[in-house]
Amino acid sequence: MAELRVSVVVCTYSMSRWESLRASVASVEALSPFEIIVVVDHCPELADRCHRSFSVMVLESSEPPGLSGARNAGVRACAGDVVAFVDDDAVVDRQWLSLLIRSYSDESVSGVGGCVEPMWNGGRPAWFPPEFDWVVGCSHSGMPRELAAVRNLIGTNMSFRTSVLRESGGFRTSLGRRGDRLLFGEETELCIRIGGTLLYDPRARVRHHVPVARQTVRYFVTRCFGEGLSKARITRLVGAGRGLADERAHVRRTLPRALARATPARFAAILGGLAVTALGYAAGLASRR
């Protein structure tokens, strides 16, 4: 197989994330990919600073506001055979790209993602269960511990064949984050839609910054409710069978084991998070009707 060219897309939207964006871009530059594209989502001041500070391609998104639109702008502009995505508040490990690319030797593979480790500002809160690390955009307990096929990849650490993304039409702009709006699921819907084999390699690691603001009970509850709403939207598009398969397995297998060994605080967080997510899903279904 000829050596694949990799474009790395880093999407950003706020001046408040400047320092983390600099660290993210620097970590990717150290790997010398074929191309790095910083996509600025409708923030002219940030775009101007990026143009002045970075030696990589800086693109101002003309797509609809939001992460999905910004990612689509990056896909449209990239020249690589594979496009990889990393968040503007995450840094990549030295072996990240080489491990992702290795799996594309199989022509049936449409996408490859990896592990997202949380970097807790001040340390993980004692009550926060690892089974709910998806709340802060990270890999959670119960995910594969070795290379395995999965339903969907994690947005902070994912890659796809560029041709597959373009042929699929890209990310749905009706889904996904937009500013502080806590609605998600664009990666899940896309992964289900594009087909082919999707692989998760836990050795391909990025570290995701978790600020204090995302370590509160309030954020946890809000994020769980938003996840439920998002899953209702996704099942509307792809059906409950595929849209909830992983979530049902997580509830049946992983959470009971976690409850059996949990401290009282984590026990309450697991049950509360599950209940609020279910409530959000029910609210999403009700709004559909």
Share of the chain above pLDDT 70, in %: 97
> What whole-number distance in Å separates Cα of residue 225 and Cα of residue 135?
10
* pLDDT higher than threshold 70 for residue 43: yes
Inter-residue contact 93 to 205 (CB < 8 Å): yes
**Phi, then psi, of 250 in degrees rounded to 5:** -65, -40
Question: What mean pLDDT is predicted for residues 79-94?
Answer: 97
pLDDT at 185: 83
* pLDDT higher than threshold 70 for residue 289: no
DSSP label of 132: G
Which of the four pLDDT bands, split at 50, 70 and 90, describes residue 174? confident
pLDDT at 226: 92
* pLDDT higher than threshold 70 for residue 288: no
pLDDT at 203: 97
Per-residue pLDDT of 25-36, as tens digits, reads 999 999 999 999
* pLDDT higher than threshold 60 for residue 258: yes
Which of the four pLDDT bands, split at 50, 70 and 90, describes residue 76? very high
Question: What mean pLDDT is predicted for residues 241-253?
Answer: 91
For domain 6-288, which CATH number applies: 3.90.79.10, 1.10.357.10, 3.30.70.270, 3.90.550.10?
Answer: 3.90.550.10
Inter-residue contact 201 to 155 (CB < 8 Å): no
Inter-residue contact 247 to 188 (CB < 8 Å): no
* pLDDT higher than threshold 80 for residue 55: yes
> What whole-number distance in Å separates Cα of residue 21 and Cα of residue 36?
13
Inter-residue contact 96 to 205 (CB < 8 Å): yes
Mean pLDDT of the chain: 94
Inter-residue contact 36 to 85 (CB < 8 Å): no
Which of the four pLDDT bands, split at 50, 70 and 90, describes residue 109? very high
Per-residue pLDDT of 266-275, as tens digits, reads 999 999 999 9
Which of the four pLDDT bands, split at 50, 70 and 90, describes residue 197? very high
HSE-up (13 A, CA, CB side) for residue 116: 24
* pLDDT higher than threshold 60 for residue 171: yes
Would you call 3 helix, strand, or coil by DSSP? coil
The pTM (predicted TM-score) of the whole model is 0.93
For the chain, the domains span: 6-288
